[in-house]
Amino acid sequence: MSNIVSSHALPPNPKVLLVKLSSLGDVLHNLPIVWDMRVRFPDGQIDWVVEEGYVHLLEPLMTTSNFRGIDRIIPFGLRRWKRSIFKLSTWKQFFTFKKELQEATYDIVIETQGLLKSAIVCALANKSSDVVVAGLANATEFSGYEPIAKTFYNHLVQVPIQCHAVDRSRRVMCSALDIPLIERAVSPQFYPSEFVASIPRHSVSGIKVSYVLFFHSTAREAKRWSNANWLTLGKALSDKGYQVVLPWGSSSEKAISILLSSQIPGSLVPPAFSIERAFSVIAGAALTVGVDTGLTHLAAVLNQPTVEIYCDSPRWKTEGYWSSRIENVGDIQKPPQVQEVLDAALRLLTQ
């Protein structure tokens, strides 16, 4: 680790700002450091700036009368603002965001993504005179990183070039707090167990039997598993008595879901659903099978039976390593065979 600021005693109840704006999977893999910090600062303040579309991912960790998690979620609307950058209303919304961000003066600011937009949020925050603004000193392989971002930090953290997203966040947090590195032996926690247990199940209309979710689509085409493979897997699970459900998030993804469903007996293409409702859809499933995409990772962090398929991204970067209810198959440029995925699926379904 490379520290630019000298270590100093933190206040007993510091005010901490987490800056992790997007995307879905990245936000999820940043959640464990909230728990890690709460162990050390049970009465500190923890706020988080996140893209407004992902606020629902953080709400289960909001502080309540019997639970201390995130004290403030500060929504950031950059994606929406960029579409109407010259409108007066956009700038009014930006200054409203800035005012909300600056309501607290932070002792620690932690940014774990290494992007300029995130670093600028760090710069906008009010900070104490001896604040620690911690961020990445280097890129990890296959991750977005903008070197200019590190000019906004006063505490640079060197991480291995091959570093799991959860481990990367923990490294930055531990260095910022000047504490020993939290190893993988300390299993990461994502959501309160009470919240997971309370998620309504079976919220997909048209389901007649136990269902298996197929998250077949992702933003990058190379990360997809072939339609032929999904069809073979779907037919095999249908023969075992499971109903295959094929969610979608765009018109092109819907077309693929419809195509697959037309050839998988008894399968279902549901209406589009929000991230908020995704919790229930995933919780109600007997199994989730998906490529390296946010909703697959949501199933994994909820500790639901999940098969994560890697086709053109490295498994070490986001694999679910914290539970025996997660099977990781394939690797970068090594898509798994159908039988390997089916075997993993059946192991989880018979646990």
Task: Yes or no: say if 100 and 124 are a contact pair by the CB < 8 Å rule.
Answer: no
Q: Model confidence at 5, in pLDDT bands (50, 70, 90)?
A: very low
Q: Which percentage of the chain shows pLDDT scores above 70?
A: 97
Same-domain check for residues 276 and 139? no
Task: Yes or no: say if 150 and 136 are a contact pair by the CB < 8 Å rule.
Answer: yes
Q: Model confidence at 1, in pLDDT bands (50, 70, 90)?
A: very low
Same-domain check for residues 138 and 283? no
Res. 220: pLDDT tops 80: yes
Q: What is the mean pLDDT of residues 239-266?
A: 97
Task: Yes or no: say if 216 and 291 are a contact pair by the CB < 8 Å rule.
Answer: yes
Task: Yes or no: say if 137 and 157 are a contact pair by the CB < 8 Å rule.
Answer: yes
Residue 8: the pLDDT is 59
Q: Model confidence at 2, in pLDDT bands (50, 70, 90)?
A: very low
Same-domain check for residues 247 and 102? no
Does the residue 3 lie in any domain?
no
Does the residue 10 lie in any domain?
no
Same-domain check for residues 42 and 180? yes
Same-domain check for residues 321 and 222? yes
Query: Helices (DSSP H) in the chain: which residue ranges?
Result: 24-30, 32-40, 55-58, 78-81, 88-101, 116-124, 165-177, 193-198, 227-239, 251-261, 275-283, 294-301, 315-318, 338-349
Does the residue 41 lie in any domain?
yes
Give the separation between CA 340 and CA 231, rounded to whole angstroms: 15
Q: What is the mean pLDDT of residues 316-322?
A: 97
Q: Which domain holds residue 125?
A: 15-195
Task: Yes or no: say if 31 and 6 are a contact pair by the CB < 8 Å rule.
Answer: no
Between the alpha carbon of residue 292 and those of residues 92, 241, 243, 308, the distances in Å are 37, 26, 22, 7
Same-domain check for residues 225 and 303? yes
Task: Give the model confidence (pLDDT) of 262-313 as tens digits.
Answer: 999 999 999 999 999 999 999 999 999 999 999 999 999 999 999 999 999 9
Task: Give the model confidence (pLDDT) of 75-85 as tens digits.
Answer: 999 888 988 98
Q: What is the mean pLDDT of residues 153-172?
A: 97
Same-domain check for residues 117 and 173? yes
Does the residue 53 lie in any domain?
yes
Residue 201: the pLDDT is 83
Same-domain check for residues 113 and 144? yes
Residue 249: the pLDDT is 93
Does the residue 2 lie in any domain?
no
Res. 136: pLDDT tops 80: yes
Res. 203: pLDDT tops 80: no
Over the chain, what is the mean pLDDT? Answer: 94
Does the residue 4 lie in any domain?
no
Q: Model confidence at 223, in pLDDT bands (50, 70, 90)?
A: very high
Task: Give the model confidence (pLDDT) of 47-96 as tens digits.
Answer: 999 999 999 999 999 998 889 999 999 999 988 898 898 899 899 999 99
Q: Which residue has the tokens 């260095």?
A: 175
Q: Which percentage of the chain shows pLDDT scores above 90?
A: 89
CATH number at residue 134: 3.40.50.2000
Same-domain check for residues 178 and 282? no
For the record, the structure tokens of 158 come out as: 């060197």
Q: Among 150, 178, 195, which residue terminates a domain?
A: 195
Same-domain check for residues 235 and 291? yes
Query: C-alpha dihedral over 273, 54, 327, 289, to 10 degrees?
Result: 20
Residue 105: the pLDDT is 98
Residue 262: the pLDDT is 98
For the chain, the domain total comes to 2
Same-domain check for residues 211 and 145? no
Does the residue 8 lie in any domain?
no
Q: Which residues pair with 17 in a beta bridge?
A: 47, 109
Does the residue 281 lie in any domain?
yes
Q: Phi/psi at 265 (nearest 5 deg)?
A: -55, 130
Q: Among 139, 170, 195, which residue terminates a domain?
A: 195
Same-domain check for residues 125 and 22? yes
Q: Among 166, 195, 224, which residue terminates a domain?
A: 195
Q: Residue 217's closest CA among 127, 314, 290?
A: 290
Helix (H, G, I), strand (E, B) or coil at 214: strand
